[in-house]
Amino acid sequence: MSNLSKLQTLQHPLFEQYKLNVQIKRDDLLDPIISGNKWRKLKYNLQHVKEKGYQGILSFGGAYSNHIHALAYACNKYSLNAVGIIRGEAHYANNFTLSKAKQWGMNLQFVDRMTYRLRDNSEYLQRLSQQYPDHYIIPEGGSNTLALKGVAEICHELDQQTQFDTLITPVGSAGTISGLISGDNNQHKILGIAVLKQTDYLTKEVKVLLNDKEDKLFNHWQILNSYHDGGYAKFSPDNLKKLQDFSAITGVPFEPVYSGKMIIALLDLITTNYFQPHHNIVLLHTGGLQGLGGLIEQNKLKADEWPLPLELQAQ
Ligand SMILES: *Cc1c(COP(=O)(O)O)cnc(C)c1O
């Protein structure tokens, strides 16, 4: 897996009209299977697991989780066992995402919503580590301290690649934005677009992950909460159309759950004059394109309108 992702300038009539320079950091191209931030977050976790001599990794996710998909693939590559605690029913094991995880050797354990809610509970975690000794436990989404270290490398790469004012990322569990904030160290503005509803807790989560509860270390970041478009993995037909148009104009593929919401937010922020002319914007493409397979399978997207990258099509 490559470590440096390319930075690409985007052409769009709106950027010209508002005199903005917009570039995109193509972390979706880091690896054909683990596209995006999930690889950044796993990198130092895998290294730690190997160094400490664990036999495998246990983690948590939903039935179409990009993190579970990436973890299963990475563990297979690194000859580690993988256990996925999955929210939902056993028949999900045959869906687009989990059938691959299973092929890569992940042990899928399905739990009900009540049990899944215990995923950060210390007694529950202790029970799991008794049940799976020699397994290192990584939280949902892969967001832990080691994940931040991997994500921070994006900022070090950007320092070599360009000068810019604002870096924009989608926000789910907040591991990625936290890694960017620490890697950037108050040099630029870091702007997060929350993809879930009711995300007031996210700001607190970032401060916990950064160990900056009193706002002493980092102050140059913000999470915008109004672009969730109805909630996690929800999207309106209007915004889907806007995203398709944006992909067609720029030639860059997006999916509507994460990176798509960042694009919709970007377009709205531009047309409401959020950015001064000549502002330099960098978008982080967090990947997650495997998610398209699940959305197509659930008839939430049409297969002919949302082509899957070739590497992800093969069964
Ligand atoms: C997981 C994910 C995110 C969100 O990252 P967090 O670290 O959970 O905030 C963004 N984009 C994609 C494609 C993802 O898979």
Three-state DSSP string of 252-282: CCCCCCCHHHHHHHHHHHHHCCCCCCCCEEE
Q: Please give the structure tokens belonging to residue 194.
A: 């929350």
State which of 31, 169, 173 you would mutate to test the pocket of ligand 1, scoring each by most atoms of that ligand within 8 A of its C-beta.
173
Which parts of the chain have pLDDT scores under 50? none
State pTM to two decimals: 0.97
Ligand 1 centroid to Cα of residue 258, in Å, is: 7
Residue nearest to ligand 1 atom 3, measured at CA = 172
pLDDT in tens, 106-131: 999 999 999 999 999 999 999 999 99
**Cα distances (Å, whole numbers) of residue 217 to 55, 66, 207, 241:** 36, 30, 10, 40
Ligand 1 centroid to Cα of residue 129, in Å, is: 26
pLDDT in tens, 38-75: 999 999 999 999 999 999 999 999 999 999 999 999 99
Q: What is the pLDDT of residue 2?
A: 56
Q: What is the pLDDT of residue 310?
A: 83
Phi, psi of 193 (to 5 degrees): -110, 110
User: Is any ligand 1 atom within 6 A of the Cβ of residue 61?
Assistant: no
